[in-house]
A and B are shown apart, each in its own frame.
Chain A
Amino acid sequence: DAKTTQPPSMDCAEGRAANLPCNHSTISGNEYVYWYRQIHSQGPQYIIHGLKNNETNEMASLIITEDRKSSTLILPHATLRDTAVYYCIVRVGDNQGGKLIFGQGTELSVKP
């Protein structure tokens, strides 16, 4: 699975968009980009995933560059409850199981 690089921390003002970057320059054609987040000391929570196209769900949007070497998770209107560690993961999106490796993540602090 390709390695990902994320900034260790970011701040965002409440109500503004939070844009969390992730670099994955060695990504392969069949590898998906996933995002999870971990609030305080709870178990991580799935947010969104994508392969090539931009994706949006009720939680966030995922923008993947055309060369797929980087992506950005966007929380459109960040709230204090979005304060968490956000993990970007790249792996093959198969249905056979396999490893799910987390990196260090980005600690997002949403401030009033």
Chain B
Amino acid sequence: NAGVTQTPKFQVLKTGQSMTLQCAQDMNHNSMYWYRQDPGMGLRLIYYSASEGTTDKGEVPNGYNVSRLNKREFSLRLESAAPSQTSVYFCASRRGGFEAFFGQGTRLTVV
């Protein structure tokens, strides 16, 4: 099982560029999440999707958009990247209940 797959693993953007971070899960989970983690900090929730067709803001949604394309895929878009968005981005999925599964992260640098 692949679990939660994030692409790309690394990315360097110039300020003002746009990009989409992709996340896919093969566990038939309902809920999916996007987090960011700055150096030395805990994870902060950007957006989440409780089920296919729904999305909600988390703690730090400004500067991001998301799309729950289908049950498997949940993408995160940066329309105009800023240096403050330099971070490690984690995607997660959860069936319901207790255990969430995380991807290995996307390391994004905005210069």
Contact = CB atoms under 8 A, between A and B. Distances in A.
A52 B96 CA distance: 20
Nearest to A48: B98
The range of chain B's interface size is 20 to 34
Interface of A: 32, 34, 36, 38, 41-46, 49, 85, 87, 93-105
**Secondary structure of the B side of the interface?**
strand
A42 B103 CA distance: 8
A101 B59 contact: yes
A103 B99 CA distance: 17
Contacts of A95: 96-97
A107 to B, nearest CB: 9
B71 to A, nearest CB: 12
Interface of B: 4, 30-31, 33, 35, 41-45, 48-51, 56, 58-59, 88, 90, 92, 94, 96-105
B105 A41 contact: yes
B42 to A, nearest CB: 5
Nearest to A50: B98
A104 B41 contact: yes
Contact of A97 (B31, B44, B59, B105): B31
26 contacts: A36-B100, A41-B88, A43-B4, A43-B92, A43-B104, A44-B90, A44-B100, A44-B102, A45-B102, A46-B98, A46-B100, A95-B97, A96-B50, A97-B31, A97-B48, A97-B94, A97-B96, A98-B31, A98-B50, A99-B58, A100-B94, A100-B100, A101-B58, A102-B43, A103-B42, A105-B42
